[in-house]
Amino acid sequence: MSGTLYLVATPIGNLGDFSPRAKQALSEADFIAAEDTRVTLKLLNHFGIKKPLISYFEHNRATSGEKILSRLLSGESAALVTDAGTPAISDPGADLVALCAQSGVTIIAIPGACAAISALALSGLDTSRFAFEGFLNTTGRKRAERLKELSGEKRTLVLYEAPHKLVSTLSDLVSALGSDRRVALCRELTKLHEETVRTTLAGALERYTLEAPRGEFVLVIEGAPEKTTPEVSLERAKELVYSRREAGLSLKESARLISEETGYSKNELYNACLKERELP
Ligand code: SAM
């Protein structure tokens, strides 16, 4: 019978978050597969756990994954950990889980810290539906395409970002999603300098352009606003625009106000009125 693969979450800063069950899983596994064995060794030493470590990371996952699988199939049990947080979440591990699942190995999660979930809970934004994006592609066409897709996403967005890329990412988010979207920037969670800044995308860009971002960040961004279905006909909406015009407002201002009242886009109303009456 094959052994079990335990997915063991480790702290994202505060060692007090390491659960008794996680310690037990590491103590009882035959071996531990770790993203960076030096980082994991520190954790093991802190908790007095002695266990053989093997490395499983981005660039050896194919070969190391096969070795881990064959040991599991021969009856050994393994714990998979990453440098911090939940394995397989923006970390190596998802491939190993898929490989083991295909081979019928039992996989058990030992839950614990996950920066994305803590940040979402702290954000003050809608948590009922969210889209986890991990890290955006760094450059090029793929990044632009992804940002375009995200601009219409109605669920709350959760992104990871490194401090030295934060300003350029915020700048791209302002361009793609607009200035006014609310955002929570959760920094250094569970650590000494933990901080959550709740602002808008433009506010965040301004702040971190002036003050160099430090530490690890999760960005939680409000989803795209629901488009309201107009309850009045376009003809009626145009009449309302004309009546505002007669009251002395400009066409642009009238279209903006009636768009808010009716749900038609302000450009649609503006253009429809302009075309019909050739208004200035
Ligand atoms: N698997 C991890 C998890 O469960 O959260 C995520 C690993 S991912 C490689 C690392 C990213 O997670 C960082 O760049 C940062 O965006 C986020 N992160 C990790 N620890 C954090 C912390 N203490 N505070 C804020 N963000 C953190």
Q: What per-residue confidence (pLDDT) applies to 164? A: 96
Q: What per-residue confidence (pLDDT) applies to 191? A: 98
**pLDDT-based confidence at residue 266 (cuts at 50, 70, 90):** confident
CA 71 to chain centre: 34
Q: 159 CA to middle of ligand 1, Å?
A: 10
Between CA 134 and CA 152 the distance in angstroms is: 18
Element (H, E) at 132: strand 130-135
Instruction: Note whether 114 and 40 are within 8 A (CB).
Output: no
| pLDDT over threshold 80, residue 264 | yes
Residue 115: CB within 6 Å of ligand 1? yes
Q: 178-192 pLDDT, tens per residue?
A: 999 999 999 999 999
Dihedral sign for Cα atoms in the order 240, 244, 249, 250:
positive
Look up the pTM and report it.
0.83
Q: 103 CA to middle of ligand 1, Å?
A: 30
Residue 82: CB within 6 Å of ligand 1? yes
Element (H, E) at 54: strand 53-55
Instruction: Note whether 202 and 230 are within 8 A (CB).
Output: no
Between CA 111 and CA 85 the distance in angstroms is: 9
Q: 139-181 pLDDT, tens per residue?
A: 888 999 999 999 999 999 999 999 999 999 999 999 999 999 9
Overall average pLDDT of the 111-135 stretch: 98
**192, 218, 219, 221: residue to mutate for ligand 1 pocket, most atoms within 8 A of CB:** 218
Residues paired with 80 in a beta bridge: 7, 33
CA-closest residue to ligand 1 atom 8: 90
DSSP per-residue string spanning 182-225: EEEEEESTTSTT-EEEEEEHHHHHHHHHHS---S-EEEEEPPPP
| pLDDT over threshold 80, residue 228 | no
Q: What per-residue confidence (pLDDT) applies to 278? A: 66
Query: Around Cβ 20, how many Cβ atoms within 10 Å?
Result: 7
Which residue has tokens 């008794």? 20
Residue 85 is given by DSSP the state: B
Between CA 18 and CA 28 the distance in angstroms is: 16
| pLDDT over threshold 60, residue 279 | no
Contacts (Cβ under 8 Å, ≥6 apart) of 125 = 156, 182, 184, 220, 221, 222
Which percentage of the chain shows pLDDT scores above 70? Answer: 99
Position in ligand 1 atom list of the atom nearest CA 190: 23
Q: What per-residue confidence (pLDDT) applies to 96? A: 97
